[in-house]
Amino acid sequence: MQLQSMYQDIILDHYRNPHGRGLREPFEAEVHHVNPTCGDEVTLRVHLDGDTLADVSYEGMGCSISQASVSAMYELVVGRPVTDALATGEHFMTLMQSKGDPSVAEKLEDELEDAVAFAGVSKYPARIKCALMSWMALKDASARALSATAPAGGENA
């Protein structure tokens, strides 16, 4: 029975009691991401305070993995600089590509906290995109929020 390796208690807890769920004001960017193969959806808003993610709020529907992933992500990224949050997203991506290799999860434990529980998902290729959807939405929304709040005639002008 391999199911428990994917459905860790931490994941099921996040699924049943999602953290930070609900769309809130204010926000600088809102994105809507779907997983076209299964129809899972997430709407995600980002509120910046300078370079810090002051709030990430979301609504979505989908499987336990996609919903638990966005909840765990909320806990990890709110209150942190955008660049740190996106770096954490890269670590999460590395975890999803680990094909269940325990040494990868071990190395990333500090950075990923609860989200390291998703290591078991990396053994199921069809489910990786469920876990990644919210992180993709965060990356997208952060980029939009940054460009929306960038002063006119910024460094790339």
Residues that bind other proteins (CB under 8 A): 1-3, 6-7, 12, 37-41, 61-65, 124, 127, 130
52-61 and 40-49 as β-strands: parallel, antiparallel, unpaired?
Answer: antiparallel
For residue 70, the SS3 value is helix
Distance CA 18, CA 14 (A): 5
Q: Which two tokens stand for residue 94?
A: 């590395």
Nearer to other proteins among residue 77 and residue 132 (C-beta) = 132
Nearer to other proteins among residue 37 and residue 103 (C-beta) = 37
Question: From the CB of residue 60, how many other CB atoms can be counted at a distance below 10 Å?
Answer: 22
Question: From the CB of residue 29, how many other CB atoms can be counted at a distance below 10 Å?
Answer: 19
CB of 122 to other proteins, least distance (A): 14
CB of 67 to other proteins, least distance (A): 8
CB of 100 to other proteins, least distance (A): 14
Nearer to other proteins among residue 64 and residue 94 (C-beta) = 64
